[in-house]
Structure 1
């Protein structure tokens, strides 16, 4: 089989703040931006990696979920326990400094984990956990 990861989905509750974080803080390019108001589907991804994207989507747009499920999603987003993503960089300290300068919520400064990975963590504007690990 020849399978790649094309797109992963993270929820957003403020499309402008999410675009500012992923574009201006992380340096990703905006590839698509469709919809209106808070009901926007925005695709971002690393420059030079057109085959890998993050779809920032409104969490309550799926017509197949109930009001209780929507409420649960909103509650989990508010706690920062709904969505997360793991990114990688060869320069964790430099990346941490640049992201931290973007006035974001730091969850964890660069740390050597007991399982051999060095990483840090932030929250995006929707509360999603963004972990960045150092590649060696």
Structure 2
């Protein structure tokens, strides 16, 4: 068994696609119309056939309160692995990304938390 697709709920799929590709550096994988929304996935350029991240609309009534509660408590929705969290945070800061947690060493891991502009906090983490 393996993880094939995971998701992040977004408030606007077009805005999310732009942020996750142009800013974070993922690559578009699938963009399939499904009524009012799309099956819109991105992948890591390092693993184009790897796990897909579904940029899923947050239209279900339970989703927005859930997202707002996580953000209010400073809890990231998901975490992405990077080689060097401090260097990646600096690269992303130069692209205009806002961080709610600066790179912080936590034992063998360094983490930072960013605002994805789509209603989520996202953690980046590197193992040292």
TM-score by length of 2: 0.82
The alpha-carbon deviation at position 48 of structure 1 amounts to 3.0
Query: Contact 2:44 / 2:50 at 8 angstroms: preserved in 1?
Result: no
Query: Contact 1:105 / 1:122 at 8 angstroms: preserved in 2?
Result: yes
Tell me the C-alpha RMSD between the 2 structures: 2.3
**Any residues of structure 2 matched to 1:85-124 within 5 Å, and which?**
85-113=78-106, 115-124=107-116
The alpha-carbon deviation at position 80 of structure 1 amounts to 4.6
Between Structure 1 and Structure 2, how many residues are aligned? 124
Query: Contact 2:108 / 2:127 at 8 angstroms: preserved in 1?
Result: no
Query: Contact 1:14 / 1:38 at 8 angstroms: preserved in 2?
Result: no
TM-score by length of 1: 0.78
Residues in 1 aligned to 2:36 and 2:12: alpha-carbon distance in whole angstroms = 6
Task: Find the counterpart in structure 2 of residue 129 from structure 1.
Answer: 121
Q: Does 1:59 align with 2:58?
A: yes
- Structure 2 unaligned segments of length 5 or more: list them: none
Deviations 1:8-54 (A, max 9, x none): 01111111211111101111100011227962221001013112110
- Structure 1 unaligned segments of length 5 or more: list them: 61-69
Residues in 2 aligned to 1:43 and 1:119: alpha-carbon distance in whole angstroms = 24
Task: Find the counterpart in structure 2 of residue 64 from structure 1.
Answer: none
The alpha-carbon deviation at position 5 of structure 1 amounts to 1.7
Q: For 2:2, which of 4, 8, 24 is the aligned residue?
A: 4
Question: Highest CA radius of gyration, 1 or 2?
Answer: 1
